[in-house]
C-alpha cells in the first residue's frame, strides 16, 4: 500500500495512480480545477459551452420540460435545482429514485426541494425485486447498494425517453474531481451506458444477471435497471451531462446556497466520518462506505478528507488526525437498521462483510478471524496507519 503525498488516498483505490513526485492522479486532476496546473481548465470557455447547451434545449412549449434532474434529496440535487431553475430559468423535471434506506432528514429535504417550485416524479420501485438485488449485491460482490448505483442512472433516462426531454443534468463530475488526468477524462463529460458499465460501480454484475426463477423475477421486472435502447436514445436525442464539468464544484458555497433555501444537514455527524452533509439521505450508503473500507483500507472519512484537502479547506496534517479519529469506525446505527430491514442478524451481516475484508490490511487473531475493538471496528495494521501519516515510508523499497 502506498499513500499520496498530497492527499491521504491509498493506491488500493481502483484506477488511482501516482506520478514521479508521489502525487495521485485525482490530486493532479483537481489542480487543473484551480489553475495550479500547467494545463488548467478554462472555466470561462466551459461556462460558455454550458450556456450554449441551455440555449439549445430550452423551449417555449409550456407542456414540455427543458431538462431532467435526477434527484435524491441530497445537497447536490438541491443545488442543481437552484442552479437550473433560479440561475438559468429552466423548467426542470426532477426524477427521484429513492435511496435504499431513506433517512428522515433526506425525506424532509426532498419536500424542501419540491417546494422550490419544481415538478417531481417519485419512482416507487418494486421492493421485491429491489430487495433481492440488495441482498444479492451484498452476497456476490460485497456491495449492498449495487442496485442503487444502477437505478439512479437508468431510471431518469427512462423518463427522459418517455417524456421526450433530451437534456439530463447530473451533479458532481467524477472525472474532474477524482478521475485521472488522461486524454479520455479530459473529454469525458457525457454520461452514457458505456460510462455506467465502465465507471458506474457494477463490479462485473449486469442487471440481466439478477433474473431469479425461484422468486419469479424475470427480465421484464428488471427493465427499469436496463438502459434504454440505442434507438430510443437517438430518437429523443438524450444528452447526459455533468454540471461539475462546466463549473468548479464548490461544496462550501453549495451548502450555503441550499441551507439558505431550507435544506437541512444532520444534527450529528455521519457515523463513519466527520461531516454532517454528504449522503445523509440514506443509511445504506453508510454500509456501502464501510464495505469500501474493509475491501480497500479507506472509506468515507478518507473520501471526505481528500476532497477537503484538494479544495484547500484542510491540510494534510489535519486530515491525518481526522482519519486516525474517524476512519473505519463500525457503523452501528446503519448496520442495525440495515439488518432489521433486510432480515440479517448482526452475526450474519458481519460474516458477509468479513468475507470481503482484505486480510493483508487488517489485524487477525491466531484462528484467522479478524481482530475487533470493543465497538466492533476492525483494526488497520499499524504500518499502514504510519504510512498514512508519513507517505515517504510507503515508497521505501527493501
State the nearest-atom distance from the C-beta of 27 to Zn ion, in Å.
Answer: 3
Rounded-to-integer distance, Cα 311 and Cα 193, Å: 30
Closest to Zn ion by CB, 9 or 84: 9
- Contact between 1 and Zn ion per CB under 5 A: no
Is the Cα dihedral 387, 390, 395, 398 positive or negative?
A: negative
State the nearest-atom distance from the C-beta of 16 to Zn ion, in Å.
Answer: 8
State the nearest-atom distance from the C-beta of 391 to Zn ion, in Å.
Answer: 9
In which element (H, E) is residue 92 found? strand 92-97
Of 18-26, 117-125, 150-158, 193-201, the segment contacting Zn ion by CB under 5 A is 18-26
Closest to Zn ion by CB, 7 or 222: 7
Q: Which residues of 121-147 are buried (b: 16+ CB within 10 A; e: fewer)?
A: beeebeeebbbbbbbbbbeebbbbbbb
**Secondary structure tally for the chain: helices H, strands E:** 19, 5
Closest to Zn ion by CB, 138 or 306: 306
- Contact between 323 and Zn ion per CB under 5 A: no
Interhelix angle 127-141/332-342, rounded to 10 degrees, is 120
State the nearest-atom distance from the C-beta of 385 to Zn ion, in Å.
Answer: 18
Rounded-to-integer distance, Cα 190 and Cα 241, Å: 5
Say how many residues touch Zn ion, by CB under 5 A.
Answer: 5
172 and 76 Cβ atoms separated by less than 8 Å: yes
Rounded-to-integer distance, Cα 298 and Cα 257, Å: 30
State the nearest-atom distance from the C-beta of 9 to Zn ion, in Å.
Answer: 5
State the nearest-atom distance from the C-beta of 240 to Zn ion, in Å.
Answer: 28
State the nearest-atom distance from the C-beta of 381 to Zn ion, in Å.
Answer: 21
- Contact between 4 and Zn ion per CB under 5 A: yes
Adjacent-strand bridge partners of 106:
none
Closest to Zn ion by CB, 146 or 178: 178
Rounded-to-integer distance, Cα 347 and Cα 376, Å: 11
Single out the residue of 1, 7, 54, 353 in contact with Zn ion (rule: CB under 5 A). 7
Closest to Zn ion by CB, 248 or 262: 248
State the nearest-atom distance from the C-beta of 21 to Zn ion, in Å.
Answer: 11
Closest to Zn ion by CB, 176 or 284: 176
Nearest to 16 by CA among 185, 196, 204: 185
Closest to Zn ion by CB, 34 or 197: 34
Residue whose CB is nearest to Zn ion in the complex, by number: 4
In which element (H, E) is residue 101 found? none
User: What residues from 21 to 80 belong to the interface with Zn ion (CB under 5 A)?
Assistant: 24, 27
25 and 181 Cβ atoms separated by less than 8 Å: yes
State the nearest-atom distance from the C-beta of 81 to Zn ion, in Å.
Answer: 31
Closest to Zn ion by CB, 6 or 91: 6
Rounded-to-integer distance, Cα 247 and Cα 355, Å: 41
String of DSSP letters for 116-131? TT-EEEEE---HHHHH
State the nearest-atom distance from the C-beta of 177 to Zn ion, in Å.
Answer: 12
Single out the residue of 6, 158, 329, 388 in contact with Zn ion (rule: CB under 5 A). 6
Of 6-14, 85-93, 202-210, 315-323, the segment contacting Zn ion by CB under 5 A is 6-14
Closest to Zn ion by CB, 91 or 300: 300
* First CA to last CA distance, the chain: 14
Adjacent-strand bridge partners of 163:
none
Of 5-13, 134-142, 289-297, 343-351, the segment contacting Zn ion by CB under 5 A is 5-13
Adjacent-strand bridge partners of 122:
96
Closest to Zn ion by CB, 35 or 190: 35
Interface ranges with Zn ion (CB under 5 A): 4, 6-7, 24, 27
Amino acid at each position: 500500500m502506498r499513500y499520496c503525498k498530497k492527499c491521504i488516498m491509498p493506491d488500493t483505490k481502483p484506477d488511482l495512480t501516482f506520478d514521479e513526485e508521489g502525487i495521485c492522479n485525482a490530486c493532479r486532476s483537481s489542480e487543473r480545477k484551480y489553475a495550479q496546473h500547467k494545463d488548467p481548465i478554462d472555466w470561462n470557455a466551459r461556462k460558455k459551452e454550458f450556456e450554449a447547451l441551455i440555449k439549445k434545449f430550452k423551449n417555449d412549449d409550456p407542456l414540455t420540460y427543458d431538462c431532467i434532474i435526477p434527484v435524491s434529496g441530497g445537497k447536490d440535487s438541491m443545488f442543481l435545482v437552484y442552479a437550473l431553475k433560479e440561475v438559468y430559468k429552466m423548467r426542470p423535471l426532477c426524477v427521484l429514485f429513492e435511496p435504499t434506506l431513506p433517512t428522515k432528514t433526506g425525506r424532509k429535504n426532498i419536500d424542501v426541494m419540491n417546494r422550490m417550485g419544481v415538478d417531481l416524479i417519485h419512482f416507487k420501485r418494486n421492493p421485491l425485486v429491489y430487495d433481492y438485488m440488495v441482498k444479492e449485491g451484498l452476497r456476490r460482490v460485497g456491495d449492498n447498494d449495487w442496485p442503487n448505483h444502477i437505478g439512479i442512472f437508468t431510471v431518469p433516462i427512462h423518463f427522459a425517453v418517455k417524456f421526450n426531454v433530451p437534456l439530463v443534468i447530473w451533479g458532481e463530475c467524477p472525472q474532474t474531481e477524482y478521475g485521472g488526468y488522461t486524454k479520455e477524462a479530459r473529454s469525458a463529460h457525457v454520461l452514457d451506458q458505456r460510462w455506467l458499465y465502465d465507471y458506474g460501480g457494477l463490479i462485473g454484475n449486469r442487471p440481466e444477471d439478477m433474473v431469479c426463477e425461484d422468486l419469479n423475477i424475470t427480465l421484464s421486472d428488471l427493465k427499469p435497471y436496463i438502459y434504454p435502447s440505442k434507438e430510443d436514445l437517438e430518437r429523443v436525442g438524450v444528452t447526459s451531462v455533468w454540471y461539475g464539468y462546466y463549473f468548479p464544484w464548490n461544496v462550501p458555497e453549495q451548502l450555503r446556497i441550499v441551507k439558505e433555501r431550507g435544506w437541512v444537514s444532520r444534527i450529528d455527524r455521519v457515523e463513519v466520518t466527520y461531516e454532517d452533509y454528504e449522503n445523509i439521505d440514506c443509511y445504506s450508503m453508510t454500509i456501502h462506505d464501510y464495505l469500501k473500507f474493509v475491501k480497500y483500507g479507506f472509506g468515507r472519512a478518507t473520501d471526505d478528507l481528500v476532497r477537503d484537502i484538494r479544495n484547500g479547506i484542510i491540510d494534510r496534517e489535519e486530515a491525518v488526525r481526522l482519519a486516525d479519529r474517524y476512519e473505519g469506525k463500525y457503523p452501528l446505527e446503519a448496520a442495525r437498521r440495515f439488518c432489521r430491514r433486510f432480515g440479517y442478524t448482526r452475526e450474519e451481516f458481519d460474516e458477509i462483510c468479513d468475507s470481503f475484508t482484505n486480510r493483508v490490511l487488517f489485524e487477525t487473531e491466531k484462528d484467522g478471524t479478524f481482530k475487533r475493538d470493543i465497538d466492533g471496528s476492525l483494526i488497520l495494521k499499524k504500518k499502514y496507519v504510519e504510512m498514512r501519516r508519513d507517505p515517504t515510508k510507503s515508497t521505501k523499497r527493501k
